[in-house]
Structure formats: structure tokens, C-alpha cells
Amino acid sequence: MSSPASSSTQTRRPYHGSCHCGRTRYIVFISLPPATIGSDQDPQNTVRFYKCNCSTCHKMGIFHVRVADSPHDFYLLSPLDLAELSDYTCFNKKIHWLFCPTCGVRCFAVMGKGKVVDIDLEAALGNESDGKTTQVWGVEEEGWKEDKTGYLSVNALTIEPGQEGLDLRELAQKKWIQYLDVRDGKEEDRYDYPHEGGTW
């Protein structure tokens, strides 16, 4: 299986994202480059970029960003109440494919508990703290286990372009995008090209 180039040094940066109308706004922390899949590092402990060929992801146009530590790597700035977003569930009804009721854009999907907390946002962003706190929604750390008790996927297409250190074109050029065969479940994950029914 081909995989992205490995690197011993990762840089963690915050990236702002939103839906088209701006009603949904968030910050996601991404550490690049991702670890080599197939190396000694567990892929669950690194950021993963992937495209899935299942009917849900394909028809919704989801380009997954799965962060390694969802409770500390994702802050929803607006809205603070998920009930203000429209929701779609399918199949086992566990994952909430949330979308903006105004513009229809899907910024993230989630399974698991979340809550509103007060954080020093400036400090979290790596800036000098002004002592003020900001309310954000995030997934609950207690009991959270990625892909077991909790699931969070950010749609990379909703990350604002032009931010330092992240160029979606580069993800493809460096073969950091993983292609999953969830539809048929017959093929191994790969980085070279999409599986049948999938897309670049």
C-alpha cells in the first residue's frame, strides 16, 4: 500500500472554517504532516485526510479531516446549540451529519456527547492571552474514544482558503489523501487513486 511521506516533526496550527453564509463557524487544529500510515505510529494518533466512496459521503461531497484529539482539536464558535443546525442521520442513526439550515453547507459530522465551555481562545490559538474567555461548543473529553464512543469529522472543503500551512492542493500532490472503500469493503485503503464509486 502506498502512503504519504513520513516526517518526525509536525506543526500544529489552528484553521478557521465556516459554512457559506457564515452562520456556522469553527476552529480546527491540524498537525502536519500526517504520520505515515503503516509506520509504527497508530493512524488514530495523527490527522487523517480521506475520501470515502460510500453513498453518504459521496452524495454529500464530504472531504474528511479526522483530527487525532477531537476534544482539544475542534471548537465550534457558532452556533453554540447544535439544535440550531439541521440534522440528517442514516443507517444506524448514530452519526449526525449536521448542516446549515440557511445555506445547506455541511461543516462537520459528530457522534458522541458535546457541551459548551468557556476557554481562553487567544491562548488556545497560541496568542498572548488577554484574560478573556469565549464560549465554544466542543465534544466532551470524558469517555471520548475516537471511532468507538465518539466520532468527529470536519469537511475540509469548509476550511477557509489561504491560511498558512494548509493548501488542499498540496494534500493531493503529496498523496496525503487516503481513499477508502467503505461501499464494497473489498479493497485496502490507498493514496494513489479513488476506489470505484469514489471521486478525486
Give the pLDDT mean for 182-190. 92
Q: CA 174, CA 107: separation in Å to the nearest integer? A: 24
User: Where exactly are the structural domains of the chain?
Assistant: 11-180
Q: CA 105, CA 195: separation in Å to the nearest integer? A: 25
* CB atoms inside a 10 Å sphere around CB 43: 18
Question: Could you tell me the fold of the domain covering 11-180?
Answer: 2.170.150
User: What is the residue-averaged pLDDT of the chain?
Assistant: 92
- E strand or H helix at 12, and its extent? strand 11-18
- Enter the C-alpha cell of residue 88: 440528517
Query: Residue 182 has what pLDDT?
Result: 93
Q: CA 188, CA 173: separation in Å to the nearest integer? A: 21
Q: CA 106, CA 153: separation in Å to the nearest integer? A: 10
User: What is the band of 8 on the pLDDT scale with cuts at 50, 70, 90?
Assistant: low
Give the pLDDT mean for 40-68. 88
**Interacting residues of 34 by C-beta distance below 8 A, sequence separation 6+:** 4, 46, 47, 48, 49, 176
User: What is the band of 125 on the pLDDT scale with cuts at 50, 70, 90?
Assistant: very high
pTM of the model: 0.91
Cα dihedral 180, 146, 86, 184 in deg (nearest 10) = 20
Asked if 74 and 154 touch (Cβ cutoff 8 Å), the reply is yes
Q: CA 7, CA 14: separation in Å to the nearest integer? A: 20
